[in-house]
Amino acid sequence: MTAGSTTTSSETGQDGIRIQLTPKEAAQTAALAERLSSTASGAVDHPDWIAAARTTSCALPVRLLEAIRSYRNDPGTDGLLAIGRLPVTHGALPPTPTVAQSAETAATVPAAISMLVGLQLGEIVAYRDEKRGALVQNVVPVPALETSQSNGGSVALQFHTENAFHPHRPDHIGLLCLRPAREGVGTYIASIRRALPLLADKDVAVLRESRFTTCAPPSFSAADHSCPHPVLSGHLDDPDIRVDFHATSALDDEGAAALDRLGAALDSVRCELALQPGEMVFLDNRLVVHGRGAFTPRYDGSDRWLHRVFVHLDNRRNREWRIDAGSVLI
Ligand SMILES: O=C(O)CCC(=O)C(=O)O
Ligand SMILES: [Fe+2]
């Protein structure tokens, strides 16, 4: 794909919205992010800074605004928005953090970019019991979490809807690559739009019933779990999916067998996103499950580093859950 084009499919075979910024658009975006870096209070979680970022986001390059709007209307078969060549200056980055609960609270250029793009898609939210409710979170490998099914782990991370246990899961999740993995390990995605035709009607019927429960992921400090819920819901031919293959259990054997077959169907349509520095993807968390391959961290500052943000599309629907009408949900 040439710089500057916006497409709905690509040579990777994925069907989503893809845009590569031109050098001029990247410079325009860098100027906005740099301005926000020196805007009081310089903290991405502060309501005044968020308000400034929301206003500033309206001045992003118009082609980027069009791509975001188009993705919001329909994220394609793969439920994906991929934005390339954002101005993340790879060489000037500090070492990759290695601590648990890592988040970016300062309005650095990459953190400001994550907020700017996310705030055009919707409202950026976080959860009080995960990474202390920080809005821009670091996805980095953490010593002692190697085998954990969380983004601090480095074993293969099973397919999941983000925060599948929560009644107000993110509508979209954004991942901005600051530093790539040495081994080229990728984020895996699989869309229910691709997997549905592979499922038997009987399994779909079982998956549409409230025969499943889901626990909170290990990244949450509070052990919580959902009420019984369906895995598939909404339109018969274009359903939403809610599942975490590590944390969702069926209440009976028939449900467990249907869940296994859903997992196999999703694995068979899996595609890999090998994120490059300056690449940000948004995944529609209602349509797409995501996971990650295994890799071997060094913990020497050179490991893979992503920023992550969560987006809700409707600030009223989650109002009861938002503390002091802010961005953090209980
Ligand atoms: O490491 C990744 O690519 C994704 C990790 C993940 O599932 C997340 O941060 O929500
Ligand atoms: Fe995740």
Q: What local confidence, expressed as pLDDT, does residue 323 receive?
A: 87
Q: What local confidence, expressed as pLDDT, does residue 10 receive?
A: 47
CA angle, 293 then 295 then 298, to 5°: 155
Span 54-70, pLDDT tens digits: 999 999 999 999 999 99
Measured in Å, residue 24 CA sits from the centre of ligand 1 at 30
Paired residues of 312 in beta bridges: 123
Cα–Cα distances in angstroms (integers) from residue 98 to residues 16, 78, 129, 302, in the given order: 33, 32, 20, 10
Residues 6+ apart with CB under 8 A from 38: none
* Ligand 1 probe mutation, 102, 160, 306, most atoms within 8 A of CB: 306
Sign of the Cα pseudo-torsion (266, 184, 247, 239, in order): negative
Length of the chain: 330
Q: Which atom of ligand 1 is nearest to the CA of 188?
A: 3
Q: What local confidence, expressed as pLDDT, does residue 1 receive?
A: 43
Nearest CA to 307 out of 66, 126, 144, 165 is that of: 126
CA distance 166 to 177: 26
Number of CB atoms found within 10 A of residue 169's CB: 20
Q: Which DSSP string corresponds to 276-308?
A: -TT-EEEEETTTEEEEE-------SS-S-EEEE
Q: Which atom of ligand 1 is nearest to the CA of 308?
A: 9
Specify the residue with its C-alpha closest to ligand 1, atom 5. Answer: 151
Specify the residue with its C-alpha closest to ligand 1, atom 9. Answer: 151
Ligand with smallest separation from the Cα of 306: 1
CA distance 181 to 304: 4
Number of CB atoms found within 10 A of residue 244's CB: 25
pLDDT band at 115 (very low <50, low <70, confident <90, very high): very high
Q: C-alpha 257: how far from its chain's center?
A: 28
Q: What local confidence, expressed as pLDDT, does residue 184 receive?
A: 74
Note if the bond before 114 is cis, omega within 30 degrees.
no
Residues 89/278, Cβ–Cβ less than 8 Å: no
Question: Does 304 sit in the ligand 1 pocket, CB within 6 Å?
Answer: no
Please count the CA atoms within 13 angstroms of the CA of 148 that sit on its side-chain side. Answer: 16
* Intra-chain end-to-end CA distance of the chain, in Å: 42
Specify the residue with its C-alpha closest to ligand 1, atom 8. Answer: 151
Measured in Å, residue 14 CA sits from the centre of ligand 2 at 20
Could you give the domains of the chain?
6-329 (3.60.130.10)
Tokens standing for 187? 């984020």
Question: Does 172 sit in the ligand 1 pocket, CB within 6 Å?
Answer: no
Mean pLDDT of the chain: 92
CA distance 301 to 118: 27
Q: What local confidence, expressed as pLDDT, does residue 225 receive?
A: 85
Measured in Å, residue 292 CA sits from the centre of ligand 1 at 6
Paired residues of 328 in beta bridges: 126
Residue 222 has pLDDT above 90, yes or no: no
Tokens standing for 198? 């592979």
Residue 3 has pLDDT above 70, yes or no: no
Q: Which atom of ligand 1 is nearest to the CA of 185?
A: 3
Question: Does 162 sit in the ligand 1 pocket, CB within 6 Å?
Answer: yes
Span 156-178, pLDDT tens digits: 999 999 999 999 999 999 999 99
* Ligand 1 probe mutation, 96, 131, 139, 283, most atoms within 8 A of CB: 139
Question: Does 290 sit in the ligand 1 pocket, CB within 6 Å?
Answer: yes
Span 243-274, pLDDT tens digits: 999 999 999 999 999 999 999 999 999 999 99
Please count the CA atoms within 13 angstroms of the CA of 260 that sit on its side-chain side. Answer: 6
pLDDT band at 31 (very low <50, low <70, confident <90, very high): very high
Residue 219 has pLDDT above 80, yes or no: no
Number of CB atoms found within 10 A of residue 230's CB: 18
Measured in Å, residue 7 CA sits from the centre of ligand 2 at 26
Number of CB atoms found within 10 A of residue 202's CB: 12
CA distance 122 to 242: 20
